[in-house]
A and B are shown apart, each in its own frame.
Chain A
């Protein structure tokens, strides 16, 4: 079974600065996908970014980018130019290539952006 670990329960950052959230995972599979989801306070969870394991290039979505280290089984999220609206709980998630879309989530990291 796969496991996903987020070792930072809480993080904080000043507005306009850069922050990196950590995620490690454990799997014996070679074909899989990794995701970061964001859950703002009292709002619905939404997808931030995703990475296919077969792609060597790190995914980027505007101010959000990942550092995917397949051999180390590490998948960190970097948020550049942090904004107040980035304040949220962030979840790292793993999907096997054969799982009908079933996700395994990490414990979550609460990120607070301070003005």
Chain B
């Protein structure tokens, strides 16, 4: 079974803090994605990566950055957390060839106070 894990299920941070969310997949997938999930808005793509050290902006990249130094690991960074970044963050991975199933992690519920 494909496994996608995220470093924390729940996280509470203060405004202005630098926040790291980590995601690891064990299926040698090329593609990795970061989404945020908000009620009434569904999932919105923040960043994605189709190879090591490659990254592409999604629909809402402002206030976020990412890092992919190894194929299995994709990190989302909030440089200076703000209250409007309080949300559920979901990581996913897939092979490169479309159409392929995206495999999701359990999510991190981030609260910024």
- Range class of the B interface residue count: 20 to 34
Which segment of A13-21, A76-84, A92-100 sits at the interface? Answer: A92-100
Given the known inter-chain contacts A33-B98, A99-B98, please indicate yes or no for A107 contacting B42, CB distance below 8 A: yes
Q: Is A11 an interface residue (CB 8 A)?
A: no
Is the CB–CB distance between A101 and B106 below 8 Å? no
Return the contact of A100 from the options B31, B35, B92 (Cβ within 8 A): B31
- In the bound complex, residues from chain A placing their C-beta under 8 Å from that of B42 are 4, 6, 91, 105-108
Residue B43 CB within 8 A of the other chain = yes
Partner of B96, one of A43, A47, A50, A101: A101
Check B98 against A45 for contact (C-beta < 8 Å). no
Query: Is A52 part of the contact surface with B, judged by Cβ < 8 Å?
Result: yes
Q: Which of B54-113 contact A (CB under 8 A)?
A: 56, 58-59, 90, 92, 94-96, 98-102, 104-107
In the complex, A113 has a CB within 8 A of chain B: no
Please tell me if the beta carbons of A100 and B106 are within 8 angstroms of each other in the complex.
no
Chain B residues with CB under 8 Å of A43's CB are 106
Task: Please pick, from A4, A46, A95, A108, the residue contacting B98 in the complex, using a CB distance under 8 A.
Answer: A95
Report the minimal beta-carbon distance from B49 to chain A, rounded to whole angstroms. Answer: 9
Given A45-B90, A50-B99, are A105 and B43 neighbors across the interface (CB < 8 Å)?
yes
Q: Which residues of B contact A (CB under 8 A)?
A: 4, 31, 33, 35, 40-45, 48, 50, 56, 58-59, 90, 92, 94-96, 98-102, 104-107
14 A–B contacts from the bound complex (CB under 8 Å): A4-B42, A45-B92, A95-B99, A97-B98, A100-B96, A100-B98, A101-B50, A101-B96, A102-B48, A102-B58, A107-B40, A107-B41, A107-B42, A108-B42
